[in-house]
Amino acid sequence: MALQVEFVVYEGENQDAHIAQAVSFINANLCVQVVPHVTYLKQTPSLHYYGGGWNCYILAPWNVPQSDIDQLPANACIFMLLWKAHDMPICMGGASYGLGIRARPTDSMPYDNWWWTSPSDTYGHNLTGAAAIFIHEFHHMLESIWYDAYHNPLAMSTAEHTYGVTIPHMDRMEYFTPPAEQTAWLDQYQWSEWAYQQISPEMCRALDYYCLYGLVRPVSIETDPNNAVVTTAA
């Protein structure tokens, strides 16, 4: 099983080292392997402006010209858009757009930020800020397949999570219980390891099937071989 992930990099700065760090982490903790591919494109397209108190910019999937999309591999399952803001105020470090380009999970990240090449202060373990955000945002892409394509729920808290049924929402670390001997998660690295490991082999097969065929398949429920501490409340 393998998920083909397309990194679409505007304006040419090499991202191989950051991608390699992230893919190494993901493949060590996820039951389906990630296979990255990078396409370098020229100028960042016009950005989408969010008003209403936000007053910021981001590259949304609908901003990507069809001529750029036509240059991307046909077998890509997940699209990660990397672009430059050129000092315009950005909305966030990463944004998940659900089923975007070619009705596939699409995420958007500006990379001309000071923290992109700096060591991550929330993940540690010698990860760059870029690798950390790839790890975080890629989990959102798996959540998108589970939620938007399979129409299954995501878990927002300990009480809502069952191994093999729900995927923990990556932004909700503080609402999940860490291992019994800890009073809190050690860092985002430990939390992310656990969040990826909560995606069962059967769920991985479902993700792989969707990536291969663009279709969903029945999913059976499995028990956690590691006896996860998080279960559905009675």
Q: What is the pLDDT of residues 207-231, one digit of tens each?
A: 999 999 988 876 766 656 555 443 3
pLDDT score at 47: 96
Tokens 């370098």 belong to 40
CATH number of 2-152: 3.40.390
Mean predicted confidence (pLDDT) in 24-39: 97
Residue 79 and residue 101 in contact, taking contact as beta carbons nearer than 8 Å: yes
- In single-letter form, the type of residue at position 164 comes to G
Tokens 């999937």 belong to 61
Is the model's pLDDT at 232 over the cut of 80?
Answer: no
Q: What is the pLDDT of residues 154-195, one digit of tens each?
A: 999 999 999 999 999 999 999 999 988 898 999 999 999 999
pTM above 0.85, yes or no: yes
Q: What is the pLDDT of residues 188-198, one digit of tens each?
A: 999 999 999 99
**What secondary structure does DSSP assign to 102-123, as a single string?**
GGSEEEEEE--STTSSSBPTTT
pLDDT score at 224: 60
The Cα–Cα gap between 217 and 169 comes to 22
- In single-letter form, the type of residue at position 234 comes to A
78-83 and 95-99 beta bridge pairing: unpaired
The Cα–Cα gap between 33 and 216 comes to 19
Is the model's pLDDT at 63 over the cut of 60?
Answer: yes
User: Domain segments of the chain: what residues?
Assistant: 2-152
State percent of the chain over pLDDT 70.
93
